[in-house]
Structure 1
Amino acid sequence: MPDIATSLTDQYAARVTADIERVSQEREQVRAEISALQQRLGTLESDHQQLLKLRATLTGEPVAPVAAVEPSPSGTAAEPEEAGKKAGAKVPRPRSSQPPARARADRRGKKAAPGEATWGEVLLSYLAEQQGPQSVAEITNGVSAAHPARTVQATVVRNTLEALVARGKVQRSKQARSVAYSMAPRQGGAAQPEQKQEDVKSSKSA
């Protein structure tokens, strides 16, 4: 009997150990998936904000305040531990109804900062230095290399280029199956300064 009991105990222990390993593997897999989803969410949030700013630049409409809170860099591991704190922190939320006005003022102030170039200015400056048309991917990579401090998204670059095409500042062309962009040709813009100089010289000689 003792041998049988010991054998059953060993079997149960081995089974529990196997279950622990299986659960640990699944837990790590879920954590990896959550981390990937959080990174994807952060990218989508950044794209959403850039698109809102682009639309506000084109239409003049103010950017609506964002109600969602950005995810914490600590990940979901801190969520179970702080679940009770978050539940208690929901009570004084009436204060959150006041900051949106301040958030709008802060964002408008950031837009008006003279040292920060808009995406349109960045893309126009980049295209002016290129010899020929480039695709969205090439422009995105080039701008990323020229401005490493800024987060450059292909979606924002494409939408900004289309807006510049609509304003006549950028020209769009097709190369095989892809679309390329380049600076729109200037119409007599370079000849005007020379004409002015010639007029000044002729007036002095007279």
Structure 2
Amino acid sequence: MSETTLHTTELTAQYSVQVAGDLERNLKEQERLSSEIEALQEQLAGLRHDHTILVNLQQALGTPAAPAAKPVTAVPASRKKAAAASGAARKAVPVKKQSGKKVTAASAPQLAQPTLVDLVRNHLADQVEPRSAAEVTAALGEQHPERTVKATVVRTTLEGLVAKTQALRTKQGSSVFYTAPQAAVPAAGDQASAQSA
């Protein structure tokens, strides 16, 4: 082989390694952002659902409507979710009349399905020991088989709770564990009393 051919082969190999590394980092970043977007869309859907219930309750009570807030620009939901929402709207069945207004089953207050944030927060509050994101995901998957619970979304949700000081994060080696704030306070007191003994 000539020196030029050898040099070209080495450069090609270096670029191939660099491109492969860049692609891997790009895919990981896409996955991270996708999971954050999914968690935020779930939170937004929960807030919209709560808003609808509150507006319906306000109308049922006959209280004057609060000034309308600036509409939120939505991130397009998946087609599956949009189809389910439009299907539910079409299946609205009249329930009763109240002060001349027809209330439909779709607009009547229903038991709201808890958001993933609520499920994660409640799960941590029920635990005595710290839990990893994988353990929380597995537990929620068992408790709510009707829901799709992804580890990346749970991890993002847990980090969001930590940012809002609604959960605490601890590291043990390379593993990360989460606890509810009130669960961590007695444990810290126990450790202090154990160290003084």
TM over 0.5: no
Larger Rg: 1
Q: Give the shorter-chain TM-score range.
A: 0.3 to 0.5
TM-score, with length taken from structure 2: 0.43
Q: Decide which structure has greater helix share.
A: 1
Structure with higher RCO (Cα < 8 A, 6+ apart):
2
TM-score by length of 1: 0.42
